[in-house]
Amino acid sequence: MSLQKSVKSSGDRSEQADTTSICSSVTTQPDRHGFFGGAQYSPEPKRTVSPSTILKREQKWLRMLDNWEAFMSKNYKKVRERCRKGIPASVRPKAWLYLCGGQLLLEKHPNEYEELLQAPGDPKCMEDIRKDLHRQFPYHEMFIREEGLGQQELFSVLKAYSVLNPKVGYFQAQAPVAAFLLMHMPAVQAFWCLVSISDKYLSGYYNPGLEVLQRDGDILHALLRRTAPAVHRHLVKHKVEPVLYATEWFLCALTRTLPWDSLLRVWDCFLCEGVKVLFKAALVVLAGALGPAKVRKRACGLCETLEVLRHPPENILGEEYLVYHMQRLSLTEEDFEFEHQRQTARRRAMANRRSIETSL
């Protein structure tokens, strides 16, 4: 299966799952995240820490944001520690904007977003964006109305990026990322966060050929051999390659995969620590879904294994389980760097061999 087909089919499956869920459960009141139904609907109130603890965390974050450069340059570990505990909802939009560098881009280019919107844009990109608008969290209060303000802002953010970076133009997986950002901040801020995420955090993911994504799939596979060798052996035995299950996880930065509370916590860490957080989340999901021997025994082929990975147990996707096990993975910065260099060199050698064979 090609990567392009895998991206499209996984997106279609997510849309179908969301539609099925909303058809079976519709409500007139949105949940605490703004969903009227669908896969992300969560009617139960979240069990939270005490109000006094929340207030203390908010005050700490506000002081940190007021002295952002000093904290990031001299006390990054404190920033990381507070991100891992979870950013308070009241300061999360501003914290995300600062963490990813979107605020710096906005200050450097204060008028560029509006200027990009005035450009005509590539007709093919504009058409593709319009086709995808209704697919992005269609049962969230911001996007539930056809051609409503949310969909208009989503179109504007995606159009502006396609004009800014014509080499990429518009890539389908950017749409849920942009929509997720728009749920938390004004369009101009969401745009600059999208620019930073697309060009820095997920650099190369949206380029034609998706070679960087394929390399990162190989890195994930190699890290899995260290963290969950039995699961790694199972995937190798049944020829379950990362492109078959992890494409959407990485391209959409888990926005179409995790329950909402888990997604917010993972993104708190992702925007602080980078793409390795997506690797850690993926490793936890893989180990949790295929770790039990009885599950691997039942998943006796490629299709059966993919079915398990497409529908992991709810408990392993839960906020506390996921974040706790991500932080307990026995992987160092050196492990990530080693595998990055190894897989990059391996792919370069493969490309050189193909070039030599073609020239003969």
Burial of 321 (0-12, 13-18, 19+ CB in 10 A): middle
Beta bridge partners of 37: 26
Place of tokens 């909802």: 89
**pLDDT at residue 28 in the model:** 79
Rounded to an integer, the average pLDDT of 77-83 is: 97
Residue 4 reports pLDDT greater than 50: no
**pLDDT at residue 25 in the model:** 55
**pLDDT at residue 26 in the model:** 59
Place of tokens 């190798």: 236
* Lowest-confidence segment of 4-13, 85-94, 313-322 by average pLDDT: 4-13
Rounded to an integer, the average pLDDT of 200-227 is: 94
pLDDT in tens, 331-357: 999 999 999 999 999 988 988 888 787
| Domain extents in the chain | 91-202, 211-358
**pLDDT at residue 11 in the model:** 52
Higher-confidence position of 30 and 3? 30
**pLDDT at residue 47 in the model:** 67
Beta bridge partners of 140: 35
Rounded to an integer, the average pLDDT of 208-232 is: 95
**pLDDT at residue 38 in the model:** 87
CATH code of 91-202, in short, is: 1.10.8.270
Three-state DSSP class for 312? coil
* Lowest-confidence segment of 48-57, 146-155, 323-332 by average pLDDT: 48-57
Q: Does domain 211-358 have CATH number 1.10.472.80?
A: yes
Q: Which helix (H) or strand (E) holds 108?
A: helix 102-108
pLDDT in tens, 102-145: 999 999 999 999 999 999 999 999 999 999 999 999 999 999 99
Q: How many CB atoms lie within 10 A of CB 129?
A: 25
